[in-house]
Amino acid sequence: MIFRRNGYDVSVFQPGSAVSTGWRFSHPLDVGPIGPIDGQVSYYHVDFSNRLLTVSSSPQITSLTGAASLLENVGGVTTNGADLEFTLHFAHHFSLYDAVSYNHSVYDNDYRSGTATVATAGKNVVAVPDWMNKFIFAYSNDGFFAQLTGDYIGRRYATYLNDLSVAPMALFSFSSGYTSRALPVLKEGSIQFNITNLTGTRAWDTILATNAAKQFTAYPLAPRQFFVTLTGRF
């Protein structure tokens, strides 16, 4: 592997700066069945410079003889984001957690691969969605517990030039169980049932940018799966 500059200062590798601010809150609402609510709101800005990337010394990805790999400084990444999350308690045994995240990350510079210029300046960072959401609806009462979890992942670009992308997806899971402390031998025992990918969603899980454009590598979500877990404490 060969190290090469790409027009940027590489005296210090991959430094960055970040600014963040936010507000945390907790309020005892006590309005009918609705109990306390707590959460936080935050904003952040990150400047990441001197990003390192392994690129080919030839613009052709495939070659009979191959091409040397170059570790290049390809410039920076700018990120602006905001998060909102809260937990609401109600009806004594129920709670709802929800978190919404906005993250806009873009490349700051173009870079060269062989004799070609890859125009990544202003393009979205690969595999980073602008929007994500997660919720957890939970119930707990006298040893019994149940939880429904949902995750939303927005559109993700799959190449550095953003010509290909992966569609948004929603993924759900469910778990339920019971814990007992009235067992003849064990101090505590529990049984838990879990279902992942509850609705059998078919989508891409992991994305790898193998080319600047026109193709990428991706791995699918695991299918619906069932698990039973038994635990005991002596």
**Residue 13 in this model has a pLDDT that exceeds 60:** no
What lies within 8 Å, CB to CB, of 139 at 6+ separation is: 93, 94, 145, 146, 147
pLDDT band at 146 (very low <50, low <70, confident <90, very high): very high
pLDDT digits (tens, 9 = 90+) for 155-167: 999 999 999 999 9
- Residue at 7 is within a domain: no
- Residue at 65 is within a domain: no
Q: Give the burial string for 170-182 (b: 16+ CB within 10 Å, else e).
A: ebbbebebeeeee
Domain that holds residue 200: 18-44+75-233
pLDDT band at 4 (very low <50, low <70, confident <90, very high): very low
- Residue at 56 is within a domain: no
- Residue at 11 is within a domain: no
- Give the pLDDT of residue 68: 64
Domains of the chain: total: 1
- Residue at 191 is within a domain: yes
**Does the pTM of the predicted model rise above 0.85?**
no
Indicate the SS3 state at residue 196: strand
What lies within 8 Å, CB to CB, of 225 at 6+ separation is: 195, 196, 197
Residue written as token pair 């609510």: 37
- Residue at 55 is within a domain: no
- Give the pLDDT of residue 11: 44
- Residue at 90 is within a domain: yes
- Residue at 50 is within a domain: no
**CATH code at position 224:** 2.40.170.20
